[in-house]
Structures are given as structure tokens and as C-alpha cells.
Amino acid sequence: MKKYRVLVVDDSPFGQRIVENALMNSEFEICGFAGDGLEGIEKYAKLQPDIVTMDITMPGMDGINCSRELVSRWEDAKIVMVSSMKDDSLILQGKANGIRAFVQKPVDGGELLAVLTSLVQPVTQESFLGQYADKYAKSLTEVLKQLGIQTQAVSIDDNPLPFVVNGIGIVIGITGAYQGRLILDMDLATAVAFAKTSMAQMEVTQSDIQYSVSELANIIAGNGTSKLNRQFEGLDLRVTPPSILVGESISVISPKLKMASVTAETTLGLMMINVGFTGGRRIGR
């Protein structure tokens, strides 16, 4: 398999090593290192890499000036800033000079790979629609784990029947390059158990139950959506506040949505997420 070639521009051997380690056994390979901006331009001209990781503070020509120069000569240059600083003004400055993505040191290998992948592989409908369910499933189990609730089994159904809420259902809308919505559903007994556990109270009121389950849905939807935004550049997905449904056998019909259901067996009872998106609009830069 052809690997994507990466030029690492960083004056610190330690910084270079970290990127090298992160890309080990991935679909990326390092084709060269440069220790400052000028050398970065020289190496880029010679090696024509698929992507560049760029430190900002370097002796001589810094990463911002080097990026500006690279993009002015090769307008398709794909540059990811990898720097110890990542604040709004630096991001604005970087974007203005052609840097497409920003990763902060210490580098999280998974995050760097996800960012690099998003730049070399454009978002296709297949890749997005094929991966979103997994992101929300992960978000569900991670959030429950943080709350000390064990998940015994999680299953994903990519072609579920129309969704029926029994008990309490939280609906959260999703906007952006793909429009969608997420529903978290659980029966009332599970909702009561969840409210007691998450609030660490023996007794809970109806509004405690609604607020705690709404907040759970809010966090799952927010975390899962952020994972997707990190993986696919330009999605700009955002979530609405939660709406709450209460009752039995409530059908939720969403014409045109490609849906998936995630069922988690937890120590408190079954929790289900149904999430779906429409085909989406073209993502422009």
C-alpha cells in the first residue's frame, strides 16, 4: 500500500521523534526532517511531500513564515501546525498563512493521525456515514465509564427499524455539513437508577431524572460530534439543546435519514442511542 509522505519541520530532535513515533505503523511515513523554516522550504522543493508537520518557534525562519512561503509557491501544500502553543490568535494567524490544522504538544498520537488522515483523505459521504455510529457508541461508553457506570455489551445496528421511545427520550438536533439528530432513550426504571447514581442521591424527583438524562444525552452528543469534527475537516457540526419526550410507544420518524442504533447493556439497564444524518452538502474549504 502506498504510504503518504510526511515532512517534519521542527528544530528539536525530541519534537521530531514524537511525530516519528506517532506515525509508526500507520499509513504515513516520514520522508524528511528540517530543523528550521528555510530548510523546510528546501526539503519541500526536493521531496514534494504529501503533508508537512510544522513547529512554530524555530531559529531563523519560524513556522508561520515558512508556511506562508510554502503555500505561496505550492498552493496545495498541506500543513499541520504541531506546536506547544495553540491559542485563538495563533490559530487565526496560522490559518491566514495557509496552515490547515492545529495540534498541540505534547502530541496525542491518535489525534495527530486523525488530523493528518482528514487532510489527505477528503470527507466522502461513505467515510462519514460509515463511521459516525462508532463515534457516538464510543462517546456513550466513555461517558458512562467516567460516571462509574459499567457497560457490559454494546452493539451497533446500521439498519435499524424506525425508532420507538419507551420511557424517556432525549432528542438533540445536529447541524452543519450533515444535518441530523440523536435520540437517547431508556425506560423509566433505568432513568431513575441513572439519576440516583449520577447525582449520588437516594431519592430523586421527576425533574432530577429529566435533567440528568438530558445532560447525559447532551454530553454524549457533544463528545461524539466533536470526535467527528476532529476526524473530518470542514464538517462544522453543532448540536442543539435537548428536547425531552416522555411516554410509551412513541414513534420517532425521520424521513430521509441514514440511521444507526447503538444499544448499551449497562449495570443500570438498557440505554439506546439512535442517530442519523441526511446525505449532506458538499464541504468546501
For 49, the grid coordinates are 511531500
Question: In the beta sheet, which residues pair with residue 101?
Answer: 80
The answer to whether 246 contacts other proteins (rule: CB under 8 A) is: yes
Please say whether the dihedral angle defined by the alpha carbons of residues 21, 23, 24 and 28, taken in this order, is positive or negative: negative
| Residue number, 104 or 210, with CB nearest to other proteins | 210
- What is the arrangement of strands in the sheet containing 238-239, beginning at the earlier edge strand? 151-157, 258-266, 269-277, 180-186, 163-175, 238-239
The answer to whether 179 contacts other proteins (rule: CB under 8 A) is: yes
User: Are 212 and 98 spatial neighbours (Cβ–Cβ below 8 Å)?
Assistant: no
Q: Which residues contact 69 (CB under 8 A, 6 or more apart)?
A: 37, 41, 61
Residue span binding other proteins (CB under 8 A) among the ranges 120-128, 142-150, 227-235, 252-260 = 252-260
The answer to whether 245 contacts other proteins (rule: CB under 8 A) is: yes
* Residues contacting other proteins: total by CB under 8 A: 37
For 125, the grid coordinates are 459521504
Binding mask 46-75 for other proteins (x = CB under 8 A): ------------------------------
Q: Which of 181, 184, 232, 263 binds other proteins (CB under 8 A)?
A: 181
Residue indicated by cell numbers 504541531: 82
Binding mask 211-230 for other proteins (x = CB under 8 A): x--x----------------
Q: Which of 257, 265, 269, 283 binds other proteins (CB under 8 A)?
A: 257
Distance from C-alpha of 212 to C-alpha of 195, rounded to nearest angstrom: 6
CB of 188 to other proteins, least distance (A): 13
The answer to whether 242 contacts other proteins (rule: CB under 8 A) is: yes
| Residue number, 103 or 129, with CB nearest to other proteins | 129
| Residue number, 152 or 159, with CB nearest to other proteins | 159
Q: Which of 239, 264, 271, 272 binds other proteins (CB under 8 A)?
A: 239
Q: Which of 89, 146, 159, 251 binds other proteins (CB under 8 A)?
A: 251
Distance from C-alpha of 140 to C-alpha of 248, rounded to nearest angstrom: 23
54-59-63 Cα angle (round to 5): 25
Give the closest residue to 165 by CA, choosing from 60, 62, 91, 273. Answer: 273
For 172, the grid coordinates are 438533540
Distance from C-alpha of 165 to C-alpha of 250, rounded to nearest angstrom: 5
CB of 119 to other proteins, least distance (A): 24
Residue ranges binding other proteins (CB under 8 A): 165, 171-176, 179-181, 183, 210-211, 214, 238-257, 276-278
